[in-house]
Amino acid sequence: MTTLNRKTTGRRRSRWFAQVGWRHVVAVLAVLFSLFPIVFVLSAALNPVGTLSTTDLVPTGGVSLGNFGGLFERTAFGRWFLNSLLIAGVASFASVFLSALAAYAFSRMRFRGRRVGLLSLLLIQMFPQFLAIVAIYLIFGTITDLWPSIGFNTPWGLLLLYLGGALGVNTWLMKGFFDTLPRELDESATVDGASHAQVFFRIMLPLVAPILAVAGLLAFIGTINEFLMANVFLTSTDSKTLAVGMYGLLQSNERNNNFGIFAAGTLLTAIPTVLVFQLLQRYIVSGLTAGAVKG
Amino acid sequence: MSTPLSGPGSVTQTPGREPAGSPPSRSRPSRSRVTRDDAPITLTGLAGKVLLLGLTAGVAVWAAFPLIAAGMWVGLALLAASTAGLFYLYLTRRHIPAKYLVPGTLFLIAFQVFPVFHTASTAFTNFGDGHRGSKDDAIVAIQSSSVTQVPGSAEYALSIATKGDPVTGPLVFLVTDPGTGAVSVGDTGGLRQLDAADVTVATGGKVTAADGYTVLNFGQASSRSREITDLVVPTAGGALRSSGLSRAYEGKAVRAYEAGCDCVRDTGTGQTWTADEQAGAFVAADGERLAQGWKVNVGLSNFTRVLTDENISGPFLGTLIWNFAFAIGSTGGTFLLGMLIALALHSPRMRGTNLYRVLLVLPYAMPSFAMLLAWRDMFNADFGLINSLFGLDVDWFGQAWTARFAVILVQLWLGYPYMFLVATGALQAIPRELTEATSVDGASPWQSFRAVTLPLLLVALSPLLISSFAFNFNNFNAIYLTTEGAPFPADNPTNGATDLLITYTYRLAFGGQGAQFGFAAAISLFIFAIVAVVSAVSFRRTRQQEEVYA
C-alpha cells in the first residue's frame, strides 16, 4: 500500500514538474537575472565607504545613507533632477500633443498629399535625428550667437530640438488608435454642430487618453535617457540633465570613489519612472501589441 | 535597446500600412467639412486663437531683432513669411487638415529635415578643426598665432575669465594697460575696452572681478593652461599672448600674408606657404601644411576616402560588420529570451505570474543610461562584481571578444523585459482554441508551437523587431556608456573593436583628436543609406509575411 502511494505521489510530482514546476524554475532564474544588477546598485548606494572596490552584491560592511547626503552636497544632483524633469516632462507632453494633432488629421480627414505625408513621415524617421548631430551642432552654434536664451546650455534649445522628432515618434501608432474609434461618434457630433476642434478636444482626446498616457510615458523615459544630444548641448554644471551629469560623476580617476553617490543617484532617478511604469504596465502591454498589429 | 519605442532621437516603430479594420470612407465626400463651415464660433475657441496667435506674433518680433542686428535678411524674410503663413492658416476657415499638421511639421522641418540637408552639404566640405572659417579668418589666425615677443614690448597684468562654466566656458583675457590703467577684455575676436565702473582692479593692475564675467582662480586657470597658452588676441600692432597665468605681452607677427603671391611668408626664415584652394590650406613646397586652413568644397573626397583610403576602409568595414552583428544579436537575443520566458509564464495553471512580471520588468523601468554605467563598472577588471562573484580574472573591456560579449549581455539584460512584455501581450491575443485544436489532432507541444504560436507571434511582433533592430543599429548609449568603443588596436586610436558606426562618427566629430565635421557627416550619410535599405527590405518582407498568415 505505502509503496503504491509513494509511487503515485512521485508520479504526480513529476507530472506537476513537467507541466508547471519548470515554469517556476525559469521564472525564478529570469527574476534573478533581472534583479542582480539592481541589487548591486542598491548595495552600492547603501555602502558606507562609497567606492566601487568595496561594493559587493550584498552590503557586508554595514549600511548607511551617507551616499544620498553626499550626492546632494558634492554635486548639483538636485539641479540635474529638476532639469531632467522639466525637459522630459515638457518634451513628452508637447510631442504627444503634436503627434495627436497630426494623427487626428491623418485618421479622420482626406486631403491631397495625405499618403505622401504618411510615407514621408516613415522615411524621415529612418534618419534618426542624432545622425545629423554634426549639422545640429553647427546650426545651434549660429542660434546661440543670435538668441542665447535658446542656444547651448539652455533647456529650451534642447527642448526645441526634441520637438523636431515629435511627429515621427508616435504619429503612426496613434493614427492606428484613432482609426479604431468608430467614425459615427464624431460624425454625429459634427451633425450636431460641433466644430472640428471641438470634436478633437472633447471627443477624440478623452477616448484615446490611455494611449496618450502610454506614449507620453515612453517619450518621458526616452528623453530622460537621451545622452548624445544632451551631452553636446549642455556643458555647464547647472544646465546638465541627469544623464549628462551622472556620466560626469564617473569620469576619469573619480570613477571608483564616486560609485556610491552615483548608485544613490541611480536609485533616485529610477523612483518616478518605476512607479508610473508599474501603474501603466497593463496599458503598455495592450497598447504596444495593438499598435503593432494594426500598424 | 531600453526604450526602442519612443523618445526623441530614437528610431520609432510604426511600420506598416493602413489598418485592416474600419476601411476609411475614402469614397464618401467630406460632408462633414461642409457642415463645419457653419459651425458656430465659440468663445473659448476664439480666445484660444487670439492667445496663440498673439504669442506667435510676440515670438516672431522677439526673434526678429537679433536677425536685424546681424543683418541676416534671408532669415528675416523666412521668419516673416512663416509668421504670415501661420496667421493666414489659423484665421481662414479653409485648409482644416493643415491646421493640425503644421505645428508638428514646422518643428520637423526646422530641427530634423533641415539638419539632414545641412548634413548632406557639410559632407562635401573639409569643415572641421583647422578648417572652420573663411580664408580671411585663417590668415588672421596664422598671423596672430605666430606672434612672438619683441624685446622691450609692453607687458600687461592678466586675469583669465570666462562667461560660462569655469571648467568648460570659453576663455577671455582681462588685461590692464600699465600706462593708462584701462581694462580691456580680449578673445579671438579682438580687444574691447571695459567700463571702469564694471571692474575691480587690485593694486598691481590685476583684475579681480568684472561684471558679467567669472574670474578664474589660480587652480582653475592652471588646469586650463594649455588653452590659455593657445589663446591669441589680435590687436592693431600684432597680438596679445599670455606669458604664465598673470602676465600678457603684446608681440609682432612673424608670419604675414602677402596678397601678391597669395601666400604666407615667415619673416624670420623666409619660408613661404602658398594657398591651395583645393585643400583649403597653405602648403609649403615640401608639402608641409599650416594648421589653420579654411573651409572649401572637397566634392566627393570624404566619401571616396571611406571606400578607398586603406586606413579607413578596413576598420570601417570591420565596424560595419560588427554593427550588424550587434544589432542582430541584441534584437534577436532579447526577443528569444523574452519570448521563452513569456511562454513559460503563459499557462493557466501558473500562479504568481503577476509578481514575477513586476520583478522581471524592473530593468526596463530603470534609467538605462545609469544602468549602462553601472554595468560598465560591474565588468571592471580590478574590482568589478562579475570577476569577484565568479572568481574570474578577465579583463573584459581589454580584449575584443570579451568586450563584445559583454556589451551584448548588457543589451540582453536591458532589452529582454520589453520583449517579454510585448510577447506576453501577443500570446494573450492568440486564441487558446487554436493550440487546443492542434493537440486534439495529436500534435506535440513543440509542433503546435512551431506551426501555430510562433508564426502568429512573429506576425504580431515583426514590426517591433524591425524597429528594435533599427534602434540598436544606432544604439549610441549602449556602446558609449559602457566600452566607449574600446578596446582600440594599437595602431588606430579612432576605431575600436566595439565601436558602432554612430560612436565612430561621434568621435570623428567631437573626439579629442580634432573635429572632422565634413568627414563625420559623410559617414552619417552612409549610415542613413544602410539603415534605409535594411528597413525597406524588411518592411517589404514582413508585409508579405502578413499576407500569408493574416
In whole angstroms, give the CA distance from residue A180 to residue B480: 41
Residues B470 and B392 in one domain: yes
Of B385, B480, B521, the CB nearest to A134: B521
Stronger pLDDT, A119 or B320, i.e. the higher one: B320
Residues B223 and B344 in one domain: no
CA-based nearest residue in chain A for residue B410: A37
In a domain, B297, yes or no: no
CA distance A254 to chain B (A): 13
Interface size A-B, in CB pairs within 8 Å, comes to 415
Chain-chain contact of A40 with B464 (C-beta, under 8 angstroms) = no
**Predicted local confidence at residue A288, as pLDDT:** 59
CA–chain centroid gap for A147, Å, is: 30
For A:176-235, CB contacts with B below 8 A are 176, 179-180, 182-183, 186-187, 190-191, 193-198, 200, 215, 218-219, 221-229, 232, 235
CA-based nearest residue in chain A for residue B523: A131
In whole angstroms, give the CA distance from residue B487 to residue B500: 13
Q: Is A16 on the interface with B (CB under 8 A)?
A: no
Residues B64 and B162 in one domain: no
Chain-chain contact of A218 with B7 (C-beta, under 8 angstroms) = yes
**Predicted local confidence at residue B325, as pLDDT:** 94
pTM: 0.76
Give the residue among A206, A217, A241 at the shortest CA–CA distance from A227. A241
Give the HSE-up count for residue B450: Cα atoms under 13 Å, Cβ half-sphere: 5
C-alpha cell at A214: 502610454
The domains located in chain A, with CATH, are 15-65 (no CATH), 70-292 (1.10.3720.10)
**Predicted local confidence at residue B209, as pLDDT:** 82
For A:59-88, CB contacts with B below 8 A are none
Q: Is A27 on the interface with B (CB under 8 A)?
A: yes
Per-residue pLDDT of chain B (550 residues; tens, 9 = 90+): 333 433 333 333 333 333 444 444 444 444 444 444 556 677 888 888 889 999 999 999 998 888 888 888 888 999 999 999 998 988 888 888 888 888 888 888 888 888 888 888 888 888 887 777 778 777 877 777 777 777 767 778 888 888 877 777 788 888 888 777 788 888 887 888 888 888 888 777 788 888 888 888 877 887 787 788 778 887 776 778 887 778 888 777 777 787 778 888 887 777 888 887 777 788 887 877 777 778 878 778 888 888 888 778 888 888 999 999 999 999 999 999 999 999 888 888 888 888 888 888 888 888 899 999 999 888 887 778 888 888 888 888 888 899 999 999 999 999 998 889 888 888 887 887 887 788 788 888 788 888 888 888 887 777 778 778 878 888 898 999 998 887 888 777 778 889 898 888 888 887 766 778 888 888 888 888 887 787 777 777 766 554 443 3
Mutate to test the interface with B, among A20, A108, A191, A225 (most CBs of B within 10 A): A225
Out of A189-193, A284-288, B29-33, B491-495, give the one with best mean pLDDT.
A189-193
Of A247, A270, A295, the CB nearest to B365: A270
Chain-chain contact of B45 with A105 (C-beta, under 8 angstroms) = no
Mutate to test the interface with A, among B37, B355, B377, B525 (most CBs of A within 10 A): B377
Give the residue among B168, B167, B173 at the shortest CA–CA distance from B144. B173
CA distance A247 to chain B (A): 8
The domain that holds B335 is classified in CATH as 1.10.3720.10
Residue B359 one-letter amino acid: L
**Predicted local confidence at residue A294, as pLDDT:** 33
In whole angstroms, give the CA distance from residue B490 to residue B472: 27
CA distance A9 to chain B (A): 19
In whole angstroms, give the CA distance from residue A8 to residue A15: 10
Chain-chain contact of A130 with B476 (C-beta, under 8 angstroms) = yes
Q: Is A237 on the interface with B (CB under 8 A)?
A: yes
Residues B243 and B209 in one domain: yes
Q: Which residues pair with B207 in a beta bridge?
A: B201
CB A260 within 8 A of CB A47: yes
Residues B398 and B485 in one domain: yes
DSSP letter (8 states) at residue B109: I
Residues B157 and B111 in one domain: no
**Predicted local confidence at residue B403, as pLDDT:** 93
Of A136, A167, A169, the CB nearest to B105: A167
In a domain, B15, yes or no: no
Q: Using the predicted structure, report yes or no on whether residue A179 has a pLDDT greater than 70.
A: yes
Which residues of chain A does B10 touch, with a Cβ-Cβ cutoff of 8 Å? 128, 169, 222
- Above pLDDT 90, what percent of chain A? 15
Determine which helix (DSSP H) or strand (DSSP E) holds B172, and give its type and residue range: strand B171-176
Residues B419 and B494 in one domain: yes
Residue A166: pLDDT band with limits 50, 70, 90: confident
Residues B475 and B368 in one domain: yes
- pLDDT tens for each residue of A79-93: 999 999 999 999 999
Out of A27-31, A162-166, B64-68, give the one with best mean pLDDT.
A27-31
Residues B318 and B412 in one domain: yes
Residues B114 and B159 in one domain: no
**Predicted local confidence at residue B339, as pLDDT:** 92
C-alpha cell at B24: 476609411
Chain-chain contact of B6 with A170 (C-beta, under 8 angstroms) = yes
**Predicted local confidence at residue A2, as pLDDT:** 56
In total, how many domains does chain B have?
A: 3
In a domain, B28, yes or no: no
In whole angstroms, give the CA distance from residue A205 to residue B426: 26
Which residues of chain B does A76 touch, with a Cβ-Cβ cutoff of 8 Å? none
CA-based nearest residue in chain A for residue B365: A274
Which residues of chain B does A190 touch, with a Cβ-Cβ cutoff of 8 Å? 32, 35-36, 39
In a domain, B266, yes or no: no
In whole angstroms, give the CA distance from residue B42 to residue B23: 33
CA-based nearest residue in chain A for residue B59: A147
CB B11 within 8 A of CB A222: no
CB B231 within 8 A of CB B145: no
**Predicted local confidence at residue A126, as pLDDT:** 65
SS3 content of chain B, % helix, strand, coil (to 5): 55, 15, 35
The domain that holds B234 is classified in CATH as 2.40.430.10
In a domain, B136, yes or no: no
Residues B384 and B470 in one domain: yes
Q: Is A153 on the interface with B (CB under 8 A)?
A: yes
Residues B227 and B358 in one domain: no
In a domain, B447, yes or no: yes
In whole angstroms, give the CA distance from residue B9 to residue B3: 11
Residue B119 belongs to what domain range? 47-123
Mutate to test the interface with A, among B369, B410, B457 (most CBs of A within 10 A): B369
What's the Cα-to-Cα distance from B118 to each of A25, B113, B217, B530, rounded to whole Å? Answer: 54, 9, 40, 19
Per mean pLDDT, which range of A68-72, A128-132, B93-97, B408-412 is the poorest?
A: A128-132
**Number of CB atoms found within 10 A of residue B373's CB:** 25
In a domain, B271, yes or no: no
C-alpha cell at A212: 496618450
- Above pLDDT 70, what percent of chain A? 91
